[in-house]
Amino acid sequence: MVHEFPGWTDELRSLQVSTLLIFGDRDFSPLPDVVEMFELLPSAQLAVLPGTTHVGVTRRPGEVFALITPFLDAC
């Protein structure tokens, strides 16, 4: 995924902010691509919600809130 957009690899590596990536395991972004993007981000955390699509992540506010709150508290 990141290789389809020229310059993204270097841009992602250069980010100096904490980043939380939340994806569903049935997301339109294939999990290997998500992991590759995660590994490029120096200060990233990755959460993969089981049984969830891209849009389905927004339909699970309790789980998303439980992920976001400690992430923001740590920033």
**What would the pLDDT profile of 5-59 be if each residue is shown by its tens digit?**
666 788 888 888 999 999 999 998 888 888 988 999 999 999 999 999 999 999 9
pLDDT score recorded for residue 3? 55
Q: Tell me the whole-structure pTM to 2 decimals.
A: 0.83
CATH superfamily of 2-74: Alpha/Beta hydrolase fold, catalytic domain (3.40.50.1820)
Q: Report which of residues 14 and 70 the model is more confident about.
A: 70
Cβ neighbours around 7 below 10 Å, total = 8
pLDDT score recorded for residue 5? 61
Say how far apart CA 11 and CA 40 lie, in whole Å.
Answer: 9
Question: Domain extents for the chain?
Answer: 2-74
